[in-house]
Amino acid sequence: MPPLSYSRGAAAPLLEKTISQALADTAASFPDREALVVCHQNARFTWSELDREATRVARGLAGLGLAPGDRAGIWASNCVEWILMQHAAARSGVVLVNVNPAYRSHELRYVLQKSRIRALFLRERDARANYRAILDDSRDGDALPLEHVIWLGETSWDAMVAGGRDFPRDTATPLDVANIQYTSGTTGSPKGVLLTHHNLVNNGMAISLALRATERDRICAPVPLYHCFGSVIGSMVSVVTGATLILPSAQFDALATLEAVHRERATALYGVPTMFIAELVHPDFEQFDLTSLRTGVMAGAPCPIEVMRTVAERMHCREMTIAYGQTESSPVITMSDVDDPMELRVTTVGAALANTEVQIADPETGERLPIGQQGELCTRGYLVMKGYDEDPDATAAVIDSEGWLHTGDLAAMRADGYFSFRGRAKDTIIRGGENIYPREVEDFLHTHPKIADAYVIGIPDARLGETVLAWVQLKPGEEATAEEIQAFCKGKIAYFKIPQYVRFVDGFPMTVTKKIQKFLMREQEIRERGLEDIASQATA
């Protein structure tokens, strides 16, 4: 019988500490080393300063009446306050809920109701949105559990901190939930992924081992903190190693990122493929000295092989790595190593991280498959989420009785223990690193008064990996344009979920049992739009 597709990453001591304890330990070890640089706010903190400020903000949370286990949401782009809230919530036992800044009233209301957020931290507005207006719109109607609204960078934040009071320190245990991140999951509306201190601290440690990160590293992270890329691969790697975390801008800006690497002498650079592409093609690229870089992480979407090679050469990231995972796994499952041969790093998504089990199973039977055979990638270990918030049925649908998390992604394991990503068994769309579940967009489109039926698919896109396309069937006698449908979505759902393309149809391809055949829709779109080359592009 051929060997089966199972691998376990290297054994390493698991950290039995909370995020707060990890911060305190790092502050004790490297008190005067730089912990955090936020370029657009001209802010710098050493580890001892960050530790003290986290306690001040934690006192402020207690002053609001937030107790261990209560939920506080942060709805903001990258900023000093985001990191302070992450550490202050952990220190006081409050559960931090990450709210995507792209959310609009429809989505924000859902999250506020579902997560039972008692306090929400946000800015009034930025270049992308008027958050005060969106919040007001989301609160129109039935009462929400929200009690406190704290405006970042304004007097209400200062007053909250000034009104702090003592609280019982470090009441949380490593197995308590520290963070809730919303993901589209596999069905219906977004689900709150419950991530514990143990999940997050140890995934940060496992990633740092693959990166060979130390307190001497300086990580430039233009990726969003509301996403696990920023809040775990960025912030947790920093806190468990003592490496400096550099935030170049509130939202991704290629020029600001290049400037930050140059000025701050970053040794690591993070991003989804589209970010690296934007940096490489920036007209001022050659003006910056990037020779301080040695490593980084490219993740969040399939990574074109040529982009990976170019980043390694032109950006001096000879030790650039690929990471694969999902929010439910804290997030990284497999990752390449900094000294893997380039061919291995550009053709696979790496091997199992430390203390991580990975298997390839038959999607129908759950049986482990032979090496080389394609199946569903499953993982088990410390990294598996505690579950979906108040949704035991959905949790049971993805975590089986033996503790395996079923990712819904298709992969094959090689004889050397590395994994080749083959696509998704789920029909989740990944647009520039953002996960989009078609059902959620479809449900929203059905609220349009002219639409009888709608189905959403992802089609290949050279820049974003995938983009959103909707097939729309109008009610009898109705007429509409793609621009009208897009305008209906604008301001109500996140910009990245709005269909870039709309095709009006009289019907949909179906099986004899009336099941929609989305793969035929996708094949038709690829064929008619001439996307065959992009669809077949090699990715890691």
Model confidence pLDDT, tens digit, residues 428-474: 788 988 888 787 898 899 889 999 888 899 999 988 989 999 999 99
In the chain, CATH 3.40.50.980 covers 46-167
Give the alpha-carbon dihedral of 125, 127, 130, 134, to 10 degrees. -110
The answer on pLDDT for 398 being more than 60 is yes
CA distance to 47, 324, 387, 390, 438, per residue, from 435 (Å):
33, 14, 18, 21, 10
CATH number of 46-167: 3.40.50.980
> pLDDT tens for residues 5-24?
999 999 999 999 999 999 99
The secondary element (H helix, E strand) that includes residue 198 is helix 197-211
387-388 and 191-196 beta bridge pairing = antiparallel
- Quick one: average pLDDT of 61-90? 98
For residue 185, the model assigns a pLDDT of 47
The answer on pLDDT for 514 being more than 60 is no
For residue 512, the model assigns a pLDDT of 56
SS3 of residue 236 by DSSP: helix
- CATH 1.10.10.10 assigned to domain 432-535? The reply is no
The answer on pLDDT for 356 being more than 90 is yes
Residue (of 23, 19, 7, 98) closest to 335 by Cα position:
7
Residue (of 381, 389, 322) closest to 356 by Cα position:
381
Confidence category of residue 69, pLDDT binned at 50, 70, 90: very high
- Quick one: average pLDDT of 242-262? 98
CB 220 within 8 A of CB 244: no
In the chain, CATH 3.30.300.30 covers 432-535
The answer on pLDDT for 187 being more than 60 is no
For residue 188, the model assigns a pLDDT of 59
The answer on pLDDT for 53 being more than 70 is yes
Which regions of 23-133 does DSSP assign to beta strands (E)? 34-38, 43-46, 71-75, 95-98, 117-122
| Segment 254-259 long-range contacts (CB within 8 Å, at least 24 positions apart) | 254/278, 254/279, 254/282, 255/282, 255/284, 256/39, 256/40, 256/222, 257/220, 257/222, 258/282, 258/284, 258/285, 258/288, 258/290, 259/39, 259/288
